[in-house]
């Protein structure tokens, strides 16, 4: 394991691997989503508006979720609640905040929430896969000591690399969702599939972690993952009448062609002078 989460420094500015990897995941996810929005003839300006709204709110939600699970500490050190650079973000808080914001935005703008959620959610899974490697550099989100061949030496023992498990699972989920998005599917099914697939993987991976956030006697991630599966199944049961996106029938936008100028037999004064000359 590396001894530092610092990627590089420019004068007094410190760039950490965790932030760099999260930013890279967001950038790559936006690129793929932008291409897919154009392919489906969705408004890319609307996509930019949605992302500019949910990204900062997602970060705030991730922090508030983490603080809520550690109120015993932050109740005694309330000034540290805003010191996000000291660490303390939770992906479930980001997802919950982003989804609620997306629902309100879609309602206010009279958009189909599930159509946009289907478009965005594969990129979320990909960004999670990349961001998990920030835990590797921070030496966090690891599991119990183990003797498995792929164990990593962390915090004085060979342990389950649970951040690696989740990164691999997130990539698998991304591939499944990306393929589903490019096939005929009911609007809302891609988003629901994410809730089910990611939650199942996170539920079992969380069993191996040593730093789980807690809601009372329960591991918060396992509790939220169980709810995620139920919500995903409920959505699938309710979207039977939703329209189907048939990607095979999505045609590229027509390319504007300038009309050709008609030839005329009129002889201008200049042409006449040239002939005489």
| 76-106 per-position pLDDT tens digit | 989 989 888 777 889 999 999 999 999 999 9
Q: Which residues pair with 51 in a beta bridge?
A: none
Residue 4: its pLDDT value, please? 64
For the residues 108-123, what does the mean pLDDT come to? 95
Asked if the model's pLDDT at residue 262 lies above 60, the reply is no
Asked if the model's pLDDT at residue 7 lies above 90, the reply is no
**If DSSP codes are grouped into helix, strand and coil, which group holds residue 20?**
helix
Determine contact, residues 141/66, Cβ cutoff 8 Å.
no
For the residues 233-256, what does the mean pLDDT come to? 74
CA nearest to 187, candidates 148, 238, 139 = 238
Instruction: Report d(CA 129, CA 34) in Å as an integer.
Output: 19
Determine contact, residues 87/67, Cβ cutoff 8 Å.
no
Residue 260: its pLDDT value, please? 58
Residue 1: its pLDDT value, please? 45
Residue 255: its pLDDT value, please? 44
Which of 106-115, 123-132, 169-178, 263-272 bottoms out in mean pLDDT, i.e. has the lowest? 263-272
Asked if the model's pLDDT at residue 253 lies above 50, the reply is no
Is the C-alpha dihedral spanning 221, 223, 226, 231 positive or negative? negative
Residue 137: its pLDDT value, please? 85
Q: Which residues pair with 186 in a beta bridge?
A: 244
Q: How confident is the model at residue 35 (pLDDT cuts 50, 70, 90)?
A: very high
**Burial category of 117 from C-beta neighbours within 10 Å (exposed 0-12, middle 13-18, buried 19 and up):** buried
Asked if the model's pLDDT at residue 246 lies above 80, the reply is no
Residues in the chain: 277
For the residues 132-144, what does the mean pLDDT come to? 88
Q: How many CB atoms lie within 10 A of CB 261?
A: 6
CA nearest to 16, candidates 5, 24, 26 = 5
CA 17 to mean position of chain CA atoms: 18
For the residues 131-141, what does the mean pLDDT come to? 87
For the residues 175-202, what does the mean pLDDT come to? 96
Asked if the model's pLDDT at residue 221 lies above 50, the reply is yes
Residue 136: its pLDDT value, please? 86
Residue 222: its pLDDT value, please? 97
Q: Which residue has the tokens 């027509």?
A: 254
Instruction: Report d(CA 212, CA 196) in Å as an integer.
Output: 20
Residue 17: its pLDDT value, please? 84
Tokens representing residue 18 in the block:
């965790």
Residue 245: its pLDDT value, please? 80
Torsion of CA 82, 85, 90, 93, to 10 degrees: 40
| pLDDT, tens digit (0-9, with 9 covering 90-100), for 163-177 | 999 999 999 999 999
Q: Which residues pair with 145 in a beta bridge?
A: 159
* Of residues 143 and 12, more confidently modeled: 143
For the residues 189-209, what does the mean pLDDT come to? 97
Asked if the model's pLDDT at residue 230 lies above 60, the reply is yes
What pTM does this model have? 0.85
Determine contact, residues 62/97, Cβ cutoff 8 Å.
yes
């Amino acid at each position: 394991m590396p001894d530092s989460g610092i990627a590089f420094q420019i004068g007094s500015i410190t760039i950490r691997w965790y932030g760099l990897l999260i930013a890279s995941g967001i950038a790559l996810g936006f690129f793929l989503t932008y291409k897919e929005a154009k392919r489906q003839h969705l408004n890319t300006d609307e996509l930019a508006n949605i992302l500019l709204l949910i990204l900062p709110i997602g970060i705030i939600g991730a922090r508030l979720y983490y603080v809520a699970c550690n109120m015993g500490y932050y109740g005694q050190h309330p000034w540290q609640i805003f010191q996000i650079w000291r660490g303390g973000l939770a992906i479930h808080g980001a997802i919950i905040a982003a989804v609620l914001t997306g629902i309100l935005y879609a309602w206010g703008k009279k958009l189909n929430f599930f159509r946009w959620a289907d478009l965005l959610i594969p990129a979320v899974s990909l960004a999670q896969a990349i961001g998990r490697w920030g835990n590797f550099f921070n030496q966090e989100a690891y599991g119990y000591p183990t003797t498995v061949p792929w164990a990593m030496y962390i915090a004085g023992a060979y342990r389950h690399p649970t951040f690696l498990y989740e990164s691999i699972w997130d990539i698998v989920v991304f591939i499944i969702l990306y393929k589903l998005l490019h096939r005929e599917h009911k609007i809302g099914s891609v988003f629901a599939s994410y809730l089910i697939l990611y939650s199942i993987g996170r539920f079992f991976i969380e069993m191996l972690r040593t730093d789980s956030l807690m809601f009372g006697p329960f591991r918060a991630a396992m509790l939220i993952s169980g709810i995620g599966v139920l919500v995903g199944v409920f959505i699938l049961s309710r979207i039977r009448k939703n329209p189907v996106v048939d990607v095979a029938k999505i045609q590229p936008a027509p390319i504007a062609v300038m009309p050709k100028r008609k030839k005329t037999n009129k002889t201008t004064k200049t042409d006449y002078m040239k002939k005489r000359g």
